[in-house]
Amino acid sequence: MRCVLFYHAFTSCWNNGNAHFLRGVARELHALGHDVIVYEPADGWSRLNAIQDGGTEVLAQVPQLFPGIDIRAYDGSLDLDEALDAADLVVVHEWNSPDLVRRIGRRRAQGGSFALLFHDTHHRAITAPEQVEQFDLDGFDGVLAFGEVLRLIYLRMGWANRAFTWHEAADTKLYHPLPRIERQHDVVWIGNWGDGERGAELVDYLINPTVALGLQTRIYGVRYPLVALRSIAAANIQFGGWLPAHLAPEAFAAARATVHVPRAPYARALPGIPTIRLFEAMACGIPLVSAPWDDVEELFPPGSYLRAADPAQMTRALQLLRDDPELASATAEAGLQTVLTHHTCAHRVLELLDIVEQIRGVRLSATQAEYEGAAS
């Protein structure tokens, strides 16, 4: 198939965790023999912020990590005649502009033969539904929602005729254990501050517990306000700033444990949707403790990570991982095997191809019905 993917950013992962999964999907589609073309706006906010953060060289490195993927940055309005020519599958991520979404949907409605899917990986359907309502999805064949609760919202609100649950996963060609790297830190956290959506949680479940235990901790991320940076410095925690996604496996390998702190909207309003870092940390073979999060879809079996219902439990769990190497090793191994068995980008691409076949089956049935109706 000729797969055309419209992303807000592919070469930049600056404050853009979606890029990790979307890159892995493109990689696995190509590995199966499909032609993959990725379009990203040259002036996208993630790219511009990465460049401002000194990431010009990093952005130039990304295409080398994904050989065979045709990455096309565009300025201004996109020539859809060229972009959609001979396309079989088109996926449009929800961080594209409503205008681009509308234009692509109209091309499909006007007789485009490609399967067209809208991919939602955000909590806006709950926190800012008016933003989702801006998207004209009438011409789309369906929605890829990164959690069952989000899929049901799309159907209940009448935003789509069909929606499919399509969780994120780890790009295991990139995220995997690196046993030769020496453990240098007790705890590593890789994630962004969260624009006020998990600031208090990071203090309660990351900063305070590691300080109480005297753990050597390193934090990576962007958009940390001055008050947060001061708290990190006062706690004698090392702050590494932006860490490009392809360097994260080395950071995980250099630490003995990590934590999962979901943003409040996901933990409270969209249960069952983990952060991408949960998949990636497990894939890297590092034991993990999660702040409160309800795994309602049972993505991860017991033993694949430790759970903390409150800050006191987080402190005890991190202490257990520090003092019990066998528990730490068993937890890391269970998490790794869970990801390898169920949650890789290769798994998700097979799910995507199955969804495309379902869409084609529905179209074929509709075409046959129209033919039979016309003939009767």
Q: Which domains, ranges and CATH numbers included, belong to the chain?
A: 2-169+344-371 (3.40.50.2000), 185-342 (3.40.50.2000)
Q: Is 318 a residue whose pLDDT tops 80? A: yes
pTM score, whole prediction: 0.94
Predicted local distance difference test score (pLDDT) of residue 371: 45
In this predicted structure, the answer to whether residue 194 has a pLDDT above a threshold of 90 is no
Tell me what the mean pLDDT of segment 167-183 comes to: 97
The CA distance from 102 to 190, in Å, is: 35
Residue 161 has pLDDT above 50, yes or no: yes
In this prediction, residue 299 carries a pLDDT of 97
Say whether 257 sits in a helix, a strand or coil: strand
Q: Write 56-62 long-range contacts (CB < 8 A, 24+).
A: 58/244, 59/11, 59/12, 61/244, 61/246, 62/10, 62/11, 62/12, 62/23, 62/246
Strand-pairing partners, residue 260, are: 290
Compute the mean pLDDT over every residue in the chain, rounded to the nearest whole number: 93
Taking the C-alpha atoms of residue 237 and residue 4, their distance in angstroms, rounded to an integer, is 43
pLDDT digits (tens, 9 = 90+) for 121-144: 988 888 888 988 999 999 999 999
